[in-house]
């Protein structure tokens, strides 16, 4: 099949391009953009792909639909809300890695993204698809965010089993620097972030309403959570530490079995019976690793989930969603093992 990729020069876009080039069902990847650097400029931006002849075509929804079978948008927020309507009207397959179509409530989008939302009818047409747990419900897939992916995979089994008090959920999530994107900021300077760590967007992160929206599909009574994000001095990876109070006492074995049963047929989620995962154990892979504990003294459940933010948190989950949408075996193009050393 022929794939269009809009946005290749960022970390997520470049990662997605690499995965698409390695996918056995993909015959061609055509690059598109609203800005079109020269081929020499593009080669400098994507120097790791210097053996390939790369060219960015001027963006045209008409040309994409005529020449390709599916389009990926690896663009920042506030782009697809303007560009995607043609594809929705034509029911053309889209996988959108931005946040523009994840939220069904336009007021939530406008509050957290500080921009006008896409038309309500278009928002309702999109399918928010956590690839390990759902099959797409439409041809427009809103790929989940990185923090949301790590948090949801750690918390959904608790809600599905009705194990916790819904108002007790606390999430402390930490991300590597690539999650902040390629644009240089004060906090992304090496001299600042090296040997440093800082919370950011506390109670204001745009993935908060995304997490709440999805958890409400499992427990409609769920209202909110305490969610803190912290930047840490590593290149890639997200670790979500989840705390919750159980409705009644339970054992460590019962907690483990809840997760093991929930994910027993999910090849990309690995539940640890003992110990806890680390970021490197999922690096450069589509895996999510989950560790857990129950403290009888404080009656507190602890869940730790780790993902690679550029892979499971974005690009490889997008490939997983493509496999689901196109009817390919789930693991097609996603068999790379973690680079854990």
- Contact criterion met (CB below 8 Å) for 56 and 40: no
Mark whether 55 and 152 lie in a shared domain.
no
Instruction: Give a yes or no: residue 13 inside a domain.
Output: yes
- Contact criterion met (CB below 8 Å) for 144 and 210: yes
Instruction: Give a yes or no: residue 339 inside a domain.
Output: no
Mark whether 224 and 252 lie in a shared domain.
yes
Instruction: Give a yes or no: residue 340 inside a domain.
Output: no
- Contact criterion met (CB below 8 Å) for 194 and 156: no
Among 68, 146, 304, 326, the active-site one is 146
Instruction: Give a yes or no: residue 304 inside a domain.
Output: yes
Mark whether 157 and 290 lie in a shared domain.
yes
Mark whether 164 and 305 lie in a shared domain.
yes
Mark whether 250 and 197 lie in a shared domain.
yes
Residues of the chain with pLDDT under 70: none
- Contact criterion met (CB below 8 Å) for 57 and 2: no
Q: Over the stretch 201-251, which tens digit does the pLDDT of each residue have?
A: 999 999 999 999 999 999 999 999 999 999 999 999 999 999 999 999 999
Give me the DSSP letters along 172-211: EEEE-GGGG-SS--GGGSHHHHTT--EEESTTT-THHHHH
Instruction: Give a yes or no: residue 331 inside a domain.
Output: no
Mark whether 197 and 321 lie in a shared domain.
no
Number of structural domains found in the chain = 2
Instruction: Confirm whether 146 is a catalytic residue.
Output: yes
Residues 312, 318, 319, 324, Cα dihedral to 10°: 110
Q: Over the stretch 84-118, which tens digit does the pLDDT of each residue have?
A: 999 999 999 999 999 999 999 999 999 999 999 99
Give the CATH number, domain containing residue 193.
3.30.360.10
Mark whether 195 and 126 lie in a shared domain.
no
Mark whether 104 and 57 lie in a shared domain.
yes
Instruction: Give a yes or no: residue 264 inside a domain.
Output: yes
Mark whether 166 and 290 lie in a shared domain.
yes
How high is the pLDDT of residue 171?
98
How high is the pLDDT of residue 185?
84
Mark whether 218 and 75 lie in a shared domain.
no
Give the CATH number, domain containing residue 34.
3.40.50.720
* Cα separation values, 145 from 33, 162, 268, 292, 323, Å: 22, 25, 17, 23, 18
Cα(261)–Cα(263) distance, integer angstroms: 6
Mark whether 174 and 75 lie in a shared domain.
no
Q: Largest Cα–Cα distance of the chain, in whole Å? A: 63
Mark whether 177 and 260 lie in a shared domain.
yes
Give me the DSSP letters along 58-103: EP-HHHHHHH-SEEEE---TTSHHHHTHHHHHHT--EEE-SSTTT-
pTM for this one? 0.96
How high is the pLDDT of residue 36?
83
Instruction: Give a yes or no: residue 25 inside a domain.
Output: yes
Q: Which domain holds residue 97?
A: 2-144+312-326
Instruction: Give a yes or no: residue 341 inside a domain.
Output: no
- For 232-242, b/e burial (b = at least 16 CB within 10 A) is bebebbbbbbb
């Amino acid at each position: 099949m022929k794939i269009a990729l809009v946005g290749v020069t960022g970390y997520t876009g470049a990662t997605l391009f690499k995965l698409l080039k390695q996918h056995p069902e993909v015959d061609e990847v055509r690059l598109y953009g609203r800005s079109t650097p020269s081929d020499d400029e593009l080669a400098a931006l994507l120097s790791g792909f210097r053996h390939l002849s790369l060219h960015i075509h001027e963006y045209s929804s008409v040309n994409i639909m005529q020449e390709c079978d599916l389009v990926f948008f690896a663009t920042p927020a506030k782009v697809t809300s303007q560009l995607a309507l043609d594809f929705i009207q034509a029911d053309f397959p889209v996988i959108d890695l931005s946040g523009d179509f994840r939220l069904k409530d336009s007021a939530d989008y406008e509050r957290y993204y500080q921009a006008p939302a896409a038309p309500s009818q278009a928002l309702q047409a999109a399918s928010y698809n956590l690839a390990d747990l759902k099959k797409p419900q439409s041809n427009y897939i809103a790929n989940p965010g990185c923090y949301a992916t790590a948090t949801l995979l750690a918390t959904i089994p608790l809600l599905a089993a009705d194990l916790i008090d819904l108002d007790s959920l606390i999430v402390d999530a930490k991300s590597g620097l690539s999650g902040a994107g390629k644009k240089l900021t004060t906090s992304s300077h090496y001299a600042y972030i090296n040997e440093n760590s800082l919370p950011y967007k506390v109670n204001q992160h745009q993935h908060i309403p995304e997490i709440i929206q999805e958890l409400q599909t499992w427990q409609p009574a769920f209202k909110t959570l305490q969610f803190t994000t912290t930047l840490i001095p590593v290149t890639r990876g997200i670790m979500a530490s989840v705390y919750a109070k159980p409705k009644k006492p339970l054992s460590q074995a019962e907690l483990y079995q809840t997760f093991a049963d929930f994910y027993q047929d999910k090849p990309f989620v690995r539940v640890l019976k003992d110990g806890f995962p680390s970021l490197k154990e999922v690096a450069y892979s589509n895996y999510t690793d989950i560790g857990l504990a129950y403290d009888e003294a404080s009656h507190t459940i602890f869940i730790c989930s780790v993902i690679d933010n550029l892979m499971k948190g974005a690009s490889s989950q997008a490939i997983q969603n493509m496999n689901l949408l196109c009817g390919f075996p789930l693991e097609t193009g996603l068999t790379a093992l973690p680079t854990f050393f």
